Amino acid sequence: MRGLGTILFLVIFLLLSGCGGEAPRPTKVPIAPAAKKPPTPAKTPPAPALVARVEPPSTVMYSYDPKGKLDPFKPLVVERPAAPKKAAAAEIVSEGATPLERINLGQVKLVALIWNIHNPRAMVEDAGGKGYIIAKGTPIGKSKGIVTQITSAGVMIKEKYETPAGKVGTRDVTIKLYPD
């Protein structure tokens, strides 16, 4: 209790000592005396004026010579148009192709068949394990193959190919549910 009283007394003493006293006096700012005008001289005839010749400072003119230097606004890597290759029909794939049209028929595995209905269907799986439902007329494979028939034995696909002589032909490929 005694310590609390001492602390309270010190706080009150400090607060009261900061109060009171005289108000600070405003400081006076010295005012500079008004400058006297110099007396105007009597009219005298004008003296011959001295002409000063001012020459502009001599500067070295710099000019940029771009010969042999790279243009900073052109890209460093320029794409050249690829020379058109004579591609086989198996390698021709359009950009809007479905995922089934981007893989070879050798990478497709027949997983399921639904063949005893009006519109038979089959399920094929790609090498990654993703399944796709196909029906008659579905495009499949890089060689522009089309599903022509779905039977209980498997799926028949008509595929285009190009011979080394440049002739385009078609062949029938069968993907069986149970390979021999």
pLDDT at position 43 over 90? no
Q: What stretches of the chain adopt beta strand conformation (E)?
A: 109-114, 121-125, 131-135, 139-140, 145-150, 154-162, 168-176
Rounding to the nearest 10 degrees, give the CA dihedral for residues 92, 96, 99, 100.
-50
Rg for the chain (alpha carbons), in Å?
50
Residue indicated by tokens 């290759």: 85
13 within domain boundaries: no
pLDDT for 122 equals 93
Indicate whether 39 belongs to any domain: no
Could you tell me if residue 127 is inside a domain?
Answer: yes
pLDDT digits (tens, 9 = 90+) for 158-175: 998 888 877 888 999 999
d(C-alpha 105, C-alpha 171), whole Å? 13
Average pLDDT over residues 81-104: 67
pLDDT score of 84: 64
Q: Which domain holds residue 166?
A: 90-176
The answer to whether residue 11 sits within a structural domain is no
For β-strands 139-140 and 131-135, DSSP reports them as unpaired
Q: Give domain status of residue 61, yes or no.
A: no
What are the structure tokens assigned to 56, written together? 């502009």
Compute how many other C-beta atoms are within 10 angstroms of the C-beta atom of residue 97: 14
Is the pLDDT at 93 greater than 70? The verdict is no
Per mean pLDDT, which range of 8-12, 69-73, 77-81, 94-98 is the poorest?
A: 94-98
Is residue 66 in a domain?
A: no
Confidence of residue 112 (pLDDT cuts 50, 70, 90): very high
Take residue 34 and report the two structure tokens written for it.
């008004």
pTM across the whole model: 0.47
Residues forming a β-bridge with 77: none
Q: How many domains does the chain have?
A: 1
Of 99, 125, 102, give the one whose Cα is nearest residue 112. 125
**pLDDT tens, position by position, 117-160:** 889 999 999 988 999 999 999 999 888 899 999 998 899 999 98
CATH number where 152 lies? 2.30.30.830
Phi, psi for residue 156 in degrees, rounded to 5: -105, 135
The answer to whether residue 108 is domain-embedded is yes
| Domain-located, residue 2 | no
pLDDT at 150: 92
* Residue 162 phi, psi (nearest 5): -120, 130
* Nearest partner of 146 among 176, 170, 123, judged by Cα: 170
pLDDT of residue 146: 93
